[in-house]
Structure 1
Amino acid sequence: MRLKFSKAAIAEARRVIDPELGWKPTPSLVREGIALDALRRPTQFRMTQNADGFRLASDTATTKPRVFVLGDSYTQADDIDDSKFYPTLLADRIPEASFWAFGCSGYGTFQQWMILEKHVGTIRPSLLLLQMSSNDVVNNLLELEDAMPFLATPGPRPYLLDDGTTKFHFSTRDKGMRRYSRAWGSLLDRFDSIVHKAENWIPGQVRQYGQNRNPDNFEELLDTATRKTAELLNRMKATIGPDARLIAFYDEDVPPLSDAVKKACELAGVELIDTIGPAMMAEEGRQKQFVYRTIDKWHWNDAGHAVVAEILESPVRSALGFESSGSKPRDAAKIAREPKPGGTAR
């Protein structure tokens, strides 16, 4: 019973082990329930994934321009209803295009590229919209993820090595009992959370990830990981071909990790939208509460997904050669203060 009802075991119901990717979204998943956001407000949701793990998929025979949204846990979006999921909202805003969306919790850029390579021939995207996270650079380099186990993802991950080969590896996080027991791993995570509670943040503050636990050679490893991430971004560009666009955006400003994401995009010549995190953080600081977060205070709740879709609409329209919708993009502060039916702020 402890194993069955541990948080780790429940989370794994949404993902399954895969011999090539390490893990992947559970095929043909349907989940329904009540989710709490950071303000402990309940929301009913129905989350689905198709046989290939996609949360959103269009008809492959479409004649419309094609947008492939690819990401990690922010795009897998556990406990977010299909209708409130940011790619769905973006598709509603841009009906002139067809959308696909695939995300898997914990994925680094190499695993995302593997998904892209598998499906690019079927989707043939006009635009690859890549959702990145501040810890991607850590996930992309074996040596850095080993040196920062508190940011590592449980489970074995494939890493792209300098000679072009792939290595499957359990990071340091998964040594010992954790490798064999999800319940033990869940207990360790909870203990770690209590010990390092001082690293928690308040609304409006720049996020903290545990810099006091960085390895001594952190700067050297981060530089190597940044260049590795740029290499993977270039691989994505080559995979979609010269006629398609690649636009990246990321979740949150967590320096120096988010600075490394920016640098990797700059090195690879990838356009980066870096306004989402700051916009949300500014409004949360104004309201002094996490209005855009799920209960873990990291991922986006329904209101957060709405902000993401609104901010992305204009650059996606522009990349596809569509005219503006006619309305100027609003900032997160204005969005949050608009009343919902019933008169309460979002």
Structure 2
Amino acid sequence: MKIKLTKETVFFPLGIVFIFAGIICNTWLLARFSPDGIFDFSTKLKIWIIEVFCIAVGFCLIKYRSSIKLPRYREILFSFVTFLLFILLFEGGLRVFYFIKHKTKESEMDFADYLGWESTPDNFWKREVKGYGEIKYSTTRYGFRVFGDVDSKKTKIFVIGDSFTQGTTVSDGETYYDYLRKSNEDIEIFTYACGGYGSLQEYMILDKYYDVIKPHVILWQFCSNDIINNDFDLESASFRNNNQMRRPYLQDGKIKWLYPKQKSGWLVQTSYLLRLLDIKMNILRAEKYGSIEDTLSNTHPLFIRAAKTTGEIMSSVKKRASDVPIVAFSTDKPTWLGDTYFEICEKNGIHYIPGIPEAMEEAKRNGIIIDYPPYDAHWNKIGHVIAGKIILKYFIENKFIHSSPVKIQWE
């Protein structure tokens, strides 16, 4: 069936499109031009001009469509095609930009088919991190932040975690596990961590390198966002802890690789431009409207399912470790999380170190700076020392390592 190009079929829907663009452009452009949610007057003025222009053009196309000469539809069609070409060029430009950036600038992470993404091996960078000063960050083989001697006779501790353990806000030698090995001569450290990781990805790392390292103890770092990242629907619903990257999820006992987005996920996943806009819009939504974490509770159906999945993953962790003891701790403890991690660990025969989130809060109350929100909520060197002291004390008291007379001085 052929659609006859008349003034009604061309200009009326085109006018509707322009008006619709004018109505929604405010949200889209705010997210695009102001990722931090702070809008100066010049930015607002640009948005207002574009918004008024789109609505005015749309109104004129609808109201005066009968007086527009019909042959001009070709010019409008040409403009529309030009706009599409501009979008395609923008998309291509972003791809080229990120390709060059990836080749010329060191990054802590890289995409990976199996894990979703992984820590970049043999990496080094030195840069100023806002609030934290100059940071010197490096990784060694396989992307480990620290990879000790696998033939060592010392107590080999395999540390696994997410961005808190990756520690891009502290320099080499200043993490909590560095505190452990510098405080006790009986310790050999192996640390793999990657920002945004969920418990399943961390289990995959354990499974991959367990036989290489043959650890005597496994130190497992939790964060509250692990619960979010362990469930596809919960991460999809989150504006705050959605990593916008394809990752493995445990669903019905099977691993599935999915992109955590409930609407137009396939389109956003394949387009650099749409993904960039989507990420910025999520930041804006979280700032203006909050996220599911703000209303989450331990009775929420998605939380219950995510906690169950986390328990299943940690059961697999325990089986893979066999008789090797696992010691876990959490970096934070929001109200909605409660004692979930402790209960999961208790059920699976995993040791749990309490008190680290509380120690961080107490330090803040006493005026001690351990992080730098709103720039970053990850620990600085002092935060890592606080965590390191608590972990070391637990390890010695529970005889995972021998007490050591070694004394270290941290500036």
Q: Do the aligned partners of residues 294 and 303 (structure 1) sit closer, same or farther apart at CA in structure 2, a change above 3 Å counting?
A: farther
Q: Do the aligned partners of residues 284 and 100 (structure 1) sit closer, same or farther apart at CA in structure 2, a change above 3 Å counting?
A: same
Helix, strand or coil for the counterpart of 1:83?
Answer: coil
Whether 1:265 and 2:345 are equivalent positions in the alignment is yes
Residue 130 of structure 1 deviates from its aligned partner by 0.2
CA offsets 1:158-193 (integer angstroms, 9 cap, x no match): 11222x321110011782654234565455444443
Whether 1:27 and 2:98 are equivalent positions in the alignment is no
Match of 1:13 in 2: 107
Whether 1:246 and 2:246 are equivalent positions in the alignment is no
Q: Do the aligned partners of residues 194 and 221 (structure 1) sit closer, same or farther apart at CA in structure 2, a change above 3 Å counting?
A: closer
Q: Do the aligned partners of residues 308 and 199 (structure 1) sit closer, same or farther apart at CA in structure 2, a change above 3 Å counting?
A: farther
Match of 2:51 in 1: none
TM-score (norm 2): 0.67
Whether 1:305 and 2:390 are equivalent positions in the alignment is no
- The answer to whether the 8 Å contact 1:134/1:252 transfers is yes
Match of 1:56 in 2: 146
Give the distance between the partners of 1:265 and 1:321, measured in 2 at CA.
17
Whether 1:78 and 2:168 are equivalent positions in the alignment is yes
Give the distance between the partners of 1:80 and 1:184, measured in 2 at CA.
33
- Identify the match of residue 130 of structure 2 among 23, 30, 36: 36
Q: Do the aligned partners of residues 297 and 150 (structure 1) sit closer, same or farther apart at CA in structure 2, a change above 3 Å counting?
A: closer
Match of 2:216 in 1: 126
Sequence identity, in percent? Answer: 24
Greater relative contact order structure (CA < 8 Å, 6+ sep): 1
Match of 1:335 in 2: none
The AA in structure 1 aligned to 2:384 is H
Which runs of structure 2 are paired with 1:76-155 in the superposition (5 Å)? Answer: 76-155=166-245
The AA in structure 2 aligned to 1:304 is G
CA RMSD of aligned residues (A): 3.2
Give the distance between the partners of 2:327 and 2:176, measured in 1 at CA.
16
The AA in structure 2 aligned to 1:14 is E
Give the distance between the partners of 1:56 and 1:320, measured in 2 at CA.
23
The AA in structure 2 aligned to 1:165 is K
Q: Do the aligned partners of residues 103 and 211 (structure 1) sit closer, same or farther apart at CA in structure 2, a change above 3 Å counting?
A: closer
Residue 92 of structure 1 deviates from its aligned partner by 0.6
Shifted more, 28-37 versus 99-108: the winner is 28-37
Residue 84 of structure 1 deviates from its aligned partner by 0.9
Give the distance between the partners of 1:180 and 1:290, measured in 2 at CA.
41
Q: Do the aligned partners of residues 90 and 184 (structure 1) sit closer, same or farther apart at CA in structure 2, a change above 3 Å counting?
A: farther
- The answer to whether the 8 Å contact 1:146/1:152 transfers is yes
Q: Do the aligned partners of residues 49 and 326 (structure 1) sit closer, same or farther apart at CA in structure 2, a change above 3 Å counting?
A: closer
Give the distance between the partners of 2:310 and 2:292, measured in 1 at CA.
21
Give the distance between the partners of 1:268 and 1:184, measured in 2 at CA.
42
- The answer to whether the 8 Å contact 1:290/1:297 transfers is no
The AA in structure 1 aligned to 2:260 is S
Helix, strand or coil for the counterpart of 2:300?
Answer: helix
Q: Do the aligned partners of residues 305 and 241 (structure 1) sit closer, same or farther apart at CA in structure 2, a change above 3 Å counting?
A: same
Residue 125 of structure 1 deviates from its aligned partner by 1.1
Match of 2:259 in 1: 170
The AA in structure 1 aligned to 2:301 is E
Shifted more, 144-153 versus 15-24: the winner is 144-153
Q: Do the aligned partners of residues 177 and 59 (structure 1) sit closer, same or farther apart at CA in structure 2, a change above 3 Å counting?
A: same
Q: Could you say which structure has the higher helix fraction?
A: 2
Residue 88 of structure 1 deviates from its aligned partner by 1.4
Helix, strand or coil for the counterpart of 1:84?
Answer: coil
Whether 1:237 and 2:318 are equivalent positions in the alignment is yes
Give the distance between the partners of 1:228 and 1:11, measured in 2 at CA.
37
Q: Do the aligned partners of residues 252 and 321 (structure 1) sit closer, same or farther apart at CA in structure 2, a change above 3 Å counting?
A: closer
The AA in structure 1 aligned to 2:365 is G
Give the distance between the partners of 2:151 and 2:388, measured in 1 at CA.
25
CA offsets 1:23-79 (integer angstroms, 9 cap, x no match): 101121111112222xxxx52221111130100011111111210110011111124
The AA in structure 1 aligned to 2:333 is D
Which blocks of at least 5 consecutive residues in structure 1 are unaligned?
Answer: 201-208, 328-339, 342-346
Match of 2:304 in 1: 223
Figure out how many residues of one structure are paired with residues of the other and give that number. Answer: 312
The AA in structure 2 aligned to 1:13 is S
Which blocks of at least 5 consecutive residues in structure 2 are unaligned?
Answer: 1-92
Match of 1:206 in 2: none
Q: Do the aligned partners of residues 190 and 303 (structure 1) sit closer, same or farther apart at CA in structure 2, a change above 3 Å counting?
A: farther
Shifted more, 226-235 versus 125-134: the winner is 226-235
Residue 93 of structure 1 deviates from its aligned partner by 0.9
Give the distance between the partners of 1:199 and 1:255, measured in 2 at CA.
20
